[in-house]
Structure 1
Amino acid sequence: MAAEHFLPFRKSTVVALCAGELPADERESFLEFARLLAAMAQHRIHVRGERVLDAYEIVDPAEDVRTVRTATARDRADARAVVERELVALAAEADFIRIEADEIEQAFAEHDLMKVRLEVEDESIDTVMFFRRGTRPCTEEVKSFYGLRRRTVEFTSYAKVLVYIAFTERPDATEREPSGGVLLKMFQDVPRNDLEMLYPTVRVRMRTKDKVLIGVPAVLSGLVVLATKLLASLGLMVLLLAFWVGIREETVRLDQAALVTLFAGLAALGSYLWRQFSKFKNRKIKMLKTLQEHLYFRNLGNGAGVFHHLLDAAAESEVKETLLTYHFLRTAEQPLTAAGLDRVVEQWFGRHWDTTFDFDVRGGLRTLRQLDLLTEDEQGVLGAIALPEAKHRLDRHWDNLFHMPVPGAAGVPTVSR
């Protein structure tokens, strides 16, 4: 599996790693640069987040928030388009990878680790999007034959999985089968083989093994009941049935002993059927409990909270990429192109921190260009603005974000009361 863009270090750790390579007299200045860069990234993501959260409020209104007017069907359709577009973009910026349909189908076909059989009912689902981040191989010891046998299973696990599901608008909607609206959730530590458990319309079904465990004892005990308790009353019931349908003309004499035998047989049959039904029901309840426990302990966020998580992750990813791009360009011993810079960063993390990832050099270069901190010649050789000047330019960008005209200044009219 190809390496991901995600760098499994916090922003503060990346800042510390870069600062640790600098001379002591440059470290404080570099840390100030990093703080300015992070503040600007947070501001940009905050402005963007306000727009997408406003749109999400229309498609999935919060119960404790009032509105001044009711959204129309057109409003909901437009808002949903904004939500889906921003979700895809933010997921990519936060280093999530879209899980394609063939990968999901493969996961459904493979043996799961939950020891339950799940089926997805997708008739009410209009749009499904899964995203993953942090893929790693795992092993787990699985017990079978009541713990007498153990085997080691190898599987792929995702550190985080993002799920977006939009439901079809239906006039006959019920509370159990939702209509319209969207569902947005984030989970952690999800085995690839268990992706189906993240669907809201998943249903627990009995596995073949469970059917055997219930069915075989049921048949054996049924034969025992038939031989010991129903045999005496079975003949009487056959005679009564034959008389009622007209096959037998001679009436059946029902004395006290016959009635006791008949009711005893019927009671034994009813008790036997109830026990088998209870076993089936208890087995299914156990499976549902297993599913709910998996979802409860893996759930990281729901609804608008997922967007808050994505916005923070996207801002942090932008800062890490930009900071690494600037640091390695500024400290390079020889001129670097984009491809060379990409290779230097990846090799540095692999050599010093045993970390493999696909550095998104284009994202870092794009941000440096926007902030006017990058130099580039006609041959594609890159360079970074000196640290003092870079801080000055960041400070100017920050001031311009909140630039307010001063009344009385040149070209700015004064307001009289």
Structure 2
Amino acid sequence: MLQSHHFIPLNSQDLVNACLQRENADKPSVALVAQRLRAVLHQEAYRTQTELIEAYTPIDPDLDTVNIAHHNTASFDGGHFKMLFEKVLKQANFIRLSRHDLQAALKESSLFNIRLDINFDDFDDVLLYCRGVNQKTETLTQWFGLRKKVISFTNYDRVVLYLRFKTVNSLGDNTQLLGRSGRTMLKLFRNVPKADLEMLFPNTRIGMRTIDKLLIGVPALVSGVVVLTTKLGATLVLLGGLLGFWLGLHHKPVELNVATLLALGAGLGTLAGYCWKQFSTFKNRKLRFAQALTQNLYFKSLDNNAGVFYRLMADAEDEEFKEAFLAWYFLQQRATPMEPSELDYEIEQWFITLNANVKTDFEIDDALNKLERLGLAKNQNGLWLALSAKEAKAHLLNLYCG
């Protein structure tokens, strides 16, 4: 089954090598163009990275340096950082999930049989971005392993979470989040089912599903009736007599001797033990849910906070290079100008010949705009013409050295 991607799921060097293996390729010049194009784009990425670092410093929850600029975090809204961060996400071919998408995901049943609740009042701003959307299947066991069910679900290869926390006063007594007050948290995850997006939030609370409540409540009710009618019968009669005498319902006093006191104590002890057992059953089930959630997140988490945009910068730079290089390479292979749609079709068909399992949705407009900005191609009345390999390598050397 073909899977559609908004990013290019190929290693950049493998992509260049695949182009070099094609016929009519000026291999030395094309290889040098790739090297110099990567260097020019790396310079641009470094400038963006420096801006990101400066913009994130006042709102970084993991900052370990002294702040001599005296930024007031509460009044620093991080708007400039958010703008830069979303720009990098777009360059890395991530897609923003709307609030509607998130709400729809929260309503879906979790693959891990856990009900999770999120308090969005803890945040001033929430952003979710994903990359690599595909359909997967999973076999789930039900009824204590007696039944297996194969389900199909939407999965995201990469998910980025942006959370802007409210100030201390707004967070109230939530001590778990007070250290994040006014800060911006970034998280990067891999292989996240759409139905389990809520597990990525730091203030997620584990709840009991209706089926879980029934699995605990029904046996507890049945066993409770058994305990009351068998082991607590004498105790209930004694307590009823004492209560009736105290309320004036009858005038015959209840004799409290050693035997009745021992019976009363044994009955109350049995009742206390039964209640403790049911409470322990409930807590143990929640602990198993928490363990499942923790283990799942352990293998899905890729990076946190500043580490997220460092990784995303590398991804964005790589995607920018692959898009620009492919558009230039296929364009300069033609002696005559090409229409964008024609060039887009040719590149996407080439991807299919490389990997029959992946259908790449190549962003031709973005790629051509980069070539025009870098001076590697020009638009002539809707038709595009690129510099030759020899012209391009000389032009890129001037850009890099200049």
Question: TM above 0.5, one fold?
Answer: yes
**Map of 2:46 onto structure 1:** 46
1:97 equivalent among 95, 98, 101: 95
User: Aligned with 2:361: secondary structure?
Assistant: coil
Q: Map of 1:187-198 to 2, 5 A cutoff?
A: 187-198=189-200
**Map of 2:240 onto structure 1:** 238
2:267 equivalent among 265, 274, 278: 265
Q: Map of 1:19-58 to 2, 5 A cutoff?
A: 19-23=20-24, 26-58=26-58
Counterpart-to-counterpart distance in 1, 2:371 and 2:63: 42
> Does structure 1 conserve the Cα–Cα contact (< 8 Å) formed by 2:122 and 2:166?
yes
Counterpart-to-counterpart distance in 1, 2:70 and 2:210: 50
Q: Map of 1:102-117 to 2, 5 A cutoff?
A: 102-117=100-115
Distance change (3 Å), C-alpha of 1:173 and 1:87: farther
> Does structure 2 conserve the Cα–Cα contact (< 8 Å) formed by 1:346 and 1:359?
yes
Report the residue type matching 1:180 in the other structure.
G
**Map of 1:326 onto structure 2:** 328
Report the residue type matching 2:124 in the other structure.
D
Matched length: 396
Counterpart-to-counterpart distance in 1, 2:115 and 2:75: 39
TM-score normalised per structure 2:
0.94
**Map of 2:59 onto structure 1:** 59
Report the residue type matching 2:257 in the other structure.
D
In the TM superposition, residue 154 of structure 1 has moved relative to its aligned partner by: 0.5
Can you give the 5+ residue segments of structure 1 that lack an aligned partner in the other structure?
401-417
Note if 1:18 corresponds to 2:19: yes
User: What are the Cα deviations for residues 261-305 of structure 1, in whole angstroms up to 9, with x where unaligned?
Assistant: 111100100000000000000000111111111111100110001
Report the residue type matching 1:121 in the other structure.
N
> Does structure 2 conserve the Cα–Cα contact (< 8 Å) formed by 1:318 and 1:363?
no
Counterpart-to-counterpart distance in 1, 2:75 and 2:165: 16
Can you give the 5+ residue segments of structure 2 that lack an aligned partner in the other structure?
none
Counterpart-to-counterpart distance in 2, 1:126 and 1:399: 44
**Map of 1:184 onto structure 2:** 186
> Does structure 2 conserve the Cα–Cα contact (< 8 Å) formed by 1:93 and 1:317?
yes
**Map of 2:363 onto structure 1:** 360
**Map of 1:133 onto structure 2:** 131
TM-score normalised per structure 1:
0.91
Distance change (3 Å), C-alpha of 1:262 and 1:74: closer
Counterpart-to-counterpart distance in 1, 2:23 and 2:321: 19
Distance change (3 Å), C-alpha of 1:136 and 1:211: same
RMSD (Å) for aligned C-alpha atoms: 1.8
Distance change (3 Å), C-alpha of 1:174 and 1:108: closer
Note if 1:370 corresponds to 2:355: no
**Map of 1:384 onto structure 2:** 386
Counterpart-to-counterpart distance in 2, 1:371 and 1:177: 45
In the TM superposition, residue 333 of structure 1 has moved relative to its aligned partner by: 6.1
In the TM superposition, residue 174 of structure 1 has moved relative to its aligned partner by: 4.3
Identity %: 34
Counterpart-to-counterpart distance in 2, 1:218 and 1:68: 60
**Map of 1:274 onto structure 2:** 276
> Does structure 1 conserve the Cα–Cα contact (< 8 Å) formed by 2:158 and 2:189?
yes
Higher relative contact order (CA 8 A, sep 6+): 2
Report the residue type matching 2:40 in the other structure.
M
